[in-house]
Amino acid sequence: MMSLAPMSTSEAYEAGAIDIAYSGWRPQEPLATYAPLAGDIDTDVVVIGAGLAGASLTLHLAERGVRAVTLEARQPGNGASGRNAGHVQTFLDDLEPLRAWGDRATRFVDFFIEHRNIVFDLCAKYGIDGDAAKCGMVEAALRPQRALERKAAQWKAYGYDVDVVGTPELRALLGTEHYRYGLHWREGGRVNPFLFTNGMVSAAVRMGARVYGDSPVLACTREGQRWRVRTAAGSVLTQRVVICTNGHAGNPFFPDLARTQYPLVACAMATRPLPAHVLDAINPSRAAVTQFPTGLYPMVIDGRNRLITATIPHPGRAHEAQAYFSYFLQHLHRAHPQTRDANIEMEAYWTGITANSSSVYHADFPKLYRVEDGVLALMNLGTWGNVMGPLLGMSLAHALASNRTDACVLPVEKPERVRVPRLFEFKTRHLMIPAARIIDRLNLA
Ligand SMILES: Cc1cc2nc3c(=O)[nH]c(=O)nc-3n(C[C@H](O)[C@H](O)[C@H](O)COP(=O)(O)OP(=O)(O)OC[C@H]3O[C@@H](n4cnc5c(N)ncnc54)[C@H](O)[C@@H]3O)c2cc1C
């Protein structure tokens, strides 16, 4: 067997694989852990990967009484789902790319709108303590933006509670006159994605799903009409397999799936808990915030009164926590000059990988691939996983329960290799983000 050299810490940051203990979302208190698979068992559906997609799929299969076994390489929430920025965005940025889906586009958008509160609904239904809050979202800009105006009109027509706002409203929402224009979505908000993912897994287990941790899948081979999914110490014989591994890189089974995506490393950080007067200076409304059009420092305030933000690290420098925290502080001081004397310290810094289906940010939509007869992959959730993961996991579970894969709101596609997988990363890390930082520094956006 090939033995791999251990990753250095900087390599692990760069690969988005730094120990999940570094994630600011992981609580201090011990959580339920899942034992490895041992021995040979059988089931109807094997789910590979327990992130937001796999956890929701498992939960909704269990809800429908379908026998499901979930195999997770580490523990639930170990991937991007335990490492993200916590935004629950209940609208889509751009519907244009959906045109290619024909009639299915309307079905998808209707489904998305109907279930846009799925994060909050699942937390309420299953008593998941995911620190989820419907605190709304603000997209803040330095000057009027036609694209935001059009977006507000479009989603208002769909019945969304969103308004174009100017300086006085933004001052009330964000405690600053730095921004002159924006959208106030009284929809969506924040969640602790690690706790939410784990909460879905626990609920699924309570309803009969079998979940195994520390069980990386090593092989997936056909056995008659069924599939045998193997781990180091056991195997599962199953009718169907659904791969929910996000970035598939490094997986020995169906390795071509790794070529369907544009991976991008992102970093995130949390401050230590801040006193109310500092938070009031930064964000009296406590809404989730993004800057338009750069999206440089998305920000949520969590239940522990911490600021949590994310950005894209410089090429090869994902481990330089202090550098990105300094950028963030400089941004805060520019946008909220009252914070210059505040003691704002970093509590946690971590990285993760997003797997995107497009090299164009707003054209990025999740994919449902038919890999082989009986094998599907729900992946490439991009930067929308907090809502898309639970939503699409539910849709696919309902489709599988009724034996009609095409009933899923996503089109079932053939995996297509992308020509230059590193293209998105190159554009983003080398060009767009450095430019956005300069634009932000000079207030040019
Ligand atoms: C820094 C950052 C910020 C982000 N911010 C946001 C945000 O604010 N809002 C938002 O909606 N989205 C955000 N995202 C995106 C979101 O986190 C992802 O879209 C989502 O988590 C993907 O979920 P997933 O279930 O597809 O994958 P993952 O969470 O990555 O889960 C895949 C799982 O598969 C497991 N696995 C892999 N290989 C194997 C194997 N061989 N056998 C068994 N298991 C395996 C992994 O261990 C992992 O647990 C962000 C992402 C990052 C990295």
Q: Which of 26, 112, 246, 264 to mutate to test the pocket of ligand 1 (most atoms within 8 A of CB)?
A: 246
Predicted confidence (pLDDT) per residue in 73-132, tens digit: 999 999 999 999 999 999 999 999 898 888 899 999 999 999 999 999 999 999 999 999
Distance 275 CA to ligand 1 centre (A): 31
How far apart, in whole angstroms, are the C-alpha atoms of residue 441 and residue 435?
Answer: 10
Distance 251 CA to ligand 1 centre (A): 15
- Is any atom of ligand 1 closer than 6 Å to the C-beta of 87? yes
Sequence-ordered alpha helix ranges (H) in 64-210: 103-114, 118-126, 146-157, 167-174, 193-206
Q: Which of 245, 309, 364 to mutate to test the pocket of ligand 1 (most atoms within 8 A of CB)?
A: 245
What pLDDT does 1 receive? 35
What pLDDT does 403 receive? 96
118-126 vs 52-63: helix crossing angle, rounded to 10:
50
Of all protein residues, the one whose alpha carbon is nearest to atom 33 of ligand 1 is 49
Of all protein residues, the one whose alpha carbon is nearest to atom 51 of ligand 1 is 84
Work out the pLDDT band at 65, boundaries 50, 70, 90: very high
**Poorest-pLDDT segment among 76-85, 147-156, 361-370:** 361-370
Q: Is the model's pLDDT at 3 over the cut of 60? A: no
Percent of the chain with pLDDT over 90: 89
Predicted confidence (pLDDT) per residue in 171-201, tens digit: 999 999 999 999 999 999 999 999 999 999 9
Predicted confidence (pLDDT) per residue in 380-389, tens digit: 999 999 999 9
How far apart, in whole angstroms, are the C-alpha atoms of residue 17 and residue 11?
Answer: 8
Which numbered atom of ligand 1 lies nearest the CA of 231?
A: 42
- Is any atom of ligand 1 closer than 6 Å to the C-beta of 84? yes
- Is any atom of ligand 1 closer than 6 Å to the C-beta of 354? yes
What pLDDT does 4 receive? 53
Phi, psi angle pair for 110, to nearest 5°? -60, -45
The full set of domains in the chain, from first to last, is 20-84+194-260+361-419 (3.50.50.60), 132-190+264-358+425-441 (3.30.9.10)
* Positive/negative CA dihedral, 396, 55, 202, 131: negative
| Higher pLDDT, residue 130 or 296 | 130
For 32-55, what is the mean pLDDT? 98
Work out the pLDDT band at 320, boundaries 50, 70, 90: very high
Q: Is the model's pLDDT at 349 over the cut of 50? A: yes
What pLDDT does 211 receive? 98
Q: Is the model's pLDDT at 428 over the cut of 80? A: yes
Distance 78 CA to ligand 1 centre (A): 8
Which numbered atom of ligand 1 lies nearest the CA of 76?
A: 49
Distance 389 CA to ligand 1 centre (A): 9
- Is any atom of ligand 1 closer than 6 Å to the C-beta of 216? yes
Q: Are 352 and 265 in contact (CB under 8 A)?
A: yes
Q: Which of 33, 37, 52, 69 to mutate to test the pocket of ligand 1 (most atoms within 8 A of CB)?
A: 52
Average pLDDT value for the chain? 95
Q: Are 239 and 102 in contact (CB under 8 A)?
A: no
333: number of Cβ within 10 Å: 15
- Is any atom of ligand 1 closer than 6 Å to the C-beta of 390? no
Sequence-ordered alpha helix ranges (H) in 209-344: 276-282, 321-335
Sequence-ordered alpha helix ranges (H) in 23-73: 52-63
